[in-house]
Structure 1
């Protein structure tokens, strides 16, 4: 059995590599990363500790009082040799996630980052404040409250992957997926390894860092997912002259309705997946999003709302950038950007 599993794993890996290298090699004129935003915070009144950093090492005194760098955000960028996007494309992830969402899918397929890079976009992919390579700050001294952690079952039942409450099982063979689901079943256990703790009290810190990224990189197009809905819209409202288009992928948060007029010159695409009507929460979330879109249109703006099943793209979960048809969804976005004159 062990040898058979090894052979099957080898065959899967070979097939994945074959698919990954089926396209022409990428040609870049540059790539790199930077941290942006943040501020210095003073901590005082804490006791000095003695810490042994390495087992068997010599203890050292550590004074936690002093100045700390907090609220910074990590950004990685890839610049194609043949740049065809009218401006850089910024990818912003959702809650409890990092920029890994846009890289290789958890079952080893091409992610949106590579897709748009191959389409000629300069792509900037980030880890929001207090996520991934952006790092934490001390709490509750700097970040109020405690972080939220997700169980392995939570995303399965909440992100419209499984068939509601009780559909997850530790045994992959016993998990109950929604009928026709495009989420890769063989990648779910890898997907939950991407999940990181998040706070519900860091929104303004995140917005400040995203504004700093926009000030450094833009004019740009911003694609954002789920929790980042409010960040995408609010940052665009703060810097409307620097944003060429907004792509809201199932936004769970929104901008300021009283300032909807600030978005009137920014074309907006809203994309929603499948199974929304049968979910307990998502009909209300989608309605809030489309109502906000109506306010932008009432102010003279342009908002296109695409419910994927109505255009023949079915089976998508909340994590559509990871679904088996993720590149079909990406192509829909690319076609919309081309129609708006933002891609050659």
Structure 2
């Protein structure tokens, strides 16, 4: 299998930034896509009190429910320069907050790409945030998974592995040179939401509905969104003009890589991967999938950030202190692919 490819232009990305101008929007708004109606029956009717001292209310849980829809918020800049909209898809246990302000209060990638002139569509996947939840076990067949305060710190290459987290911030053991903002970690934990392991089909269906509504587009996606984005592009290759995979946890259908040969793809991986238990395999699988796309005639750039001098990134480069440097890399790649004017 080929080694990680580093295109020459990545070494030319300049770290300096002009002073930020105000964000000028033509419009902004939101909508829901996807979902289905589900009938529930056979449940006992209950009498409930919704507020102390109130009047009891009869609640009949039997009937028709709207479930598995997805919330999307969009921002259209006054001076559009992206040739197509940019869709942002987040990872597991998170919402679209991933791309908004960083946990320590700096601007996130949503604002960055808006300032560059991209129309940005930021979503909360099915079962997350403003997309809402559904009943267990009638609709969501498994129990939700919740993350402890130690889990992301030890699992996503912020801290130095198992046992590195402490409730006392002064005793936390960070990976040396890590770019994740230490003062923002506790705040990041406030954005964590439950996730399910039985909703992939519903998540994928809603993402396809967004692609049908918004695209042609570029999809920028992180972690758990990996297989959803690759498979969406495989299902709708005429609607997806580029894929930007930020540490994808999984990939697409290896038997359908030919569908991706006309879609330029960028895969970005951060630092500290070699010393982790899980991430070498995850990156190896991503690189192998990239090679399959190349063999099918496609174009894929797999970028190892520390190999090109961008060091210290956790699994969350959009939140790390150098998030703008990584965004610059993505912006230049999109521009070089002819998707920016």
- Tell me the TM-score range normalised by the shorter chain: over 0.9
Residue 123 of structure 2 is aligned to residue 126 of structure 1: yes
Per-residue CA deviation, residues 234-286 of structure 1 (Å, 9 max, x unaligned), is: 11111110000000000001110000000000000000000000000000000
- Give the drift of 1:24: 1.6
Q: What is the Cα deviation at residue 26 of structure 1?
A: 1.1
Q: Cα deviation per residue 1:54-101 (whole Å; 9 max; x = unaligned)?
A: 221111001000000011000000000000001000000000000000
Structure 2 Cα separation of the partners of residues 127 and 278 of structure 1: 32
What residue number does 2:53 align with?
56
Q: Distance in 2 between matches of 1:204 and 1:298?
A: 29
Q: Counterpart in 2 of 1:197?
A: 194
Q: Which residue of 2 aligns with 1:109?
A: 106
In the TM superposition, what is the alpha-carbon distance from 1:185 to its structure 2 partner?
A: 0.3
Alignment pair present for 1:24 and 2:25: no
Measured after TM superposition, the shift of residue 209 of structure 1 is: 0.1
Residue 219 of structure 1 corresponds to: 216
Q: How far did 1:53 drift? A: 1.3
The residue aligned with 1:268 is 265
Q: Please tell me the root mean square deviation across aligned C-alpha atoms, in Å.
A: 0.6
**Which residue in the other structure is 1:15 paired with?**
none
SS in 2 for 1:213: helix
Is residue 279 from structure 1 mapped to residue 271 from structure 2 by the alignment?
no
Given the alignment of the two structures, is residue 320 of structure 1 paired with residue 317 of structure 2, yes or no?
Answer: yes
Alignment counterpart, residue 235 of structure 1, candidates 232, 238, 243: 232
Q: Which runs of 5+ in 2 are unaligned?
A: 1-18
Alignment partner of 1:83: what SS?
A: coil
Task: Identify which of structures 1 and 2 has the higher relative contact order when contacts are C-alpha pairs closer than 8 Å and 6+ apart.
Answer: 2
Secondary structure of the structure 2 residue equivalent to 1:86: coil
Corresponding position of 2:176: 179
**Runs of 4+ displaced beyond 2 Å:** none
Displacement after TM superposition at 1:51 (Å): 1.3
3-state DSSP of counterpart to 1:288: helix
Q: Distance in 1 between matches of 2:59 and 2:104?
A: 43
* Deviation of 1:25 (Å): 1.3
Other-structure match for 1:9:
none
Query: What do the CA deviations read for 1:134-154 (whole angstroms, capped 9, x no partner)?
Result: 000101100111000000000
TM normalised by structure 2 equals: 0.94
Which structure shows the higher helix fraction?
1
* Residue of structure 1 in register with 2:15 after alignment: none
Instruction: Specify the alignment match of 2:68 in structure 1.
Output: 71
Matched length: 323
**Equivalent residue, structure 1, for 2:86:** 89
